[in-house]
Amino acid sequence: MKKVLLLCASHNDLGLIWALRKLGYFIISTGSMPGLIGEKYVDEYIQADYSDKDLILNIAKQKNMDAVCPCCNDFGVYTAAYVAEKLGLPGYDSYETTLILHNKDRFKRFAKENHIPTPEAKIFSDDQQAYEYIQKAAYPIIVKPTDCSAGNGIHKAEDKEEGFAAVKEAFLKSRAGRIVIEPYISGTQHGFCTFLSKQKVVAYCSNNEYSFINPYRVEIDTFPADKDHQVSGLLIGQIEKIAKALSLKDGIFHLQYMMNPNGDPQIIEVMRRTIGNMYWYPASMRNGFDWNYWEARARCGLSCESFPKEAVSEGFYAYKTILAKENGIIETIQIPEKYKKNLMNTLILKKEGDLVTHYESEPIGFFFFNFSSPEEMKQILVEEYDNSAVTVKKEQV
């Protein structure tokens, strides 16, 4: 039996685990936090920090792995590409290409050189130079670490005082010690997930992104995106341009974009991995195929020639991240009555009595929905936003 090294086994990696099992692999997972939900579905777990690329390389050598599969985290993508390159495993872009796509500063440079529509950014590795810049910057601005995902370390600043605080936080969060500062773009935020085959987009899925509790971490995705047909051709063209310039391998290519009031999409981030918040579940329902299965095939170096290119995208789907309103001990978790008509499925990660310490970013679970129209979907999930699923009580000090 062939063996695959999966770099984490969180809830976001469940789809990859099931896909790898379907493909017949013996799955060894790593991670620095034992007890994640996916561990019960793998064959072996090794406690190891997957962001430590040389440590993971040694494990892959010792275990004589046939393939490596990244997790739903940018640091996992770095490590997987590094290990694959060192061991001569198929299914990956070069490590250098991976760094270009997954580091905001390097992607900004690449985008500018290749005329990719993205906000103009200033890049800093010296905090004093960044502080000097924000003294004269035109506000509002947005400040980001170059190498973090899930909204970590990102802050909008309306003035110099907020700018100083945002720069300080971004440098603290960046492992590489680099940040980007760019103009804040007003508009709506969206996702655009594609599958590449021979550097061509053979399928895509679009969505609207909504953030209520934490403005920099997506809480609700609704599928498809507004004005999907107006921008999909442009975005596909840009992705294929990137794929050709960087000789990208088969597999998922995802981007986030902002639609400004003029209707021009601006690409704000790209990535080559599965997407968080169980994105693959509604995406697979809408597209009619399992995104994780094909991503697993691609990363394991298996042929994607039989990818279902004729699959029809239809229906209106969504997920909602279940979040608490504050930190404390969970008292109850329940499904709001208004959601029950459209609810397809749930995944609950915590239970009554568990402690919530980072309520703005700590998922209690997920609701998955199917709607009869985009209007119904927007009304129930956005216009009538509800965060009553979880109640907590303050922890006794």
Residue 102 falls inside a structural domain: no
Is 46 inside any structural domain? Answer: yes
Question: Tokens 């605080």 identify what position?
Answer: 165
264-294 per-position pLDDT tens digit: 899 999 999 999 999 999 999 999 999 999 9
pTM, two decimals, is 0.93
What are the backbone dihedrals phi and psi of residue 201, each rounded to the nearest 5 degrees, phi first? -80, 120
CA 215 to chain centre: 15
3-state secondary structure at position 345:
strand
Number of domains in the chain: 4
Question: For the segment 316-375, what is each residue's pLDDT rounded down to a tens digit?
Answer: 999 999 999 999 999 999 999 999 999 999 999 999 999 999 999 999 999 999 999 999
Residue 94 lies in a domain: no
Statement to judge: residues 321 and 310 lie in one domain: no
Is residue 269 situated within a structural domain?
A: yes
What CATH number does residue 60 fall under? 3.40.50.20
Pair 137, 120: CB distance under 8 Å: no
- What confidence score (pLDDT) does residue 311 get? 86
Q: Which domain holds residue 27?
A: 3-89
**Per the domain annotation, does 326 fall within a domain?**
yes
* Measured distance CA(15)–CA(31) in Å, rounded: 17
Q: Could you tell me the CATH number of the domain that includes residue 337?
A: 3.30.470.20
Say if residues 251 and 91 touch (Cβ distance below 8 Å).
Answer: yes
Confidence of residue 396 (pLDDT cuts 50, 70, 90): low
Q: Determine the distance from the C-alpha atom of residue 373 to the mean position of all C-alpha atoms in its chain, rounded to a whole number.
A: 26
Q: Write the DSSP assignment of 169-208 as a string of letters.
A: HHHHH-SSS-EEEEEPPPSEEEEEEEEEETTEEEEEEEEE
95 falls within a domain: no
Query: In whole angstroms, what is the distance from residue 269 CA to residue 118 CA?
Result: 9
What are the tens digits of pLDDT across the range 60-116? 999 999 999 999 999 999 999 999 999 999 999 999 999 999 988 899 999 999 999
Q: 172 with 233, same domain?
A: no
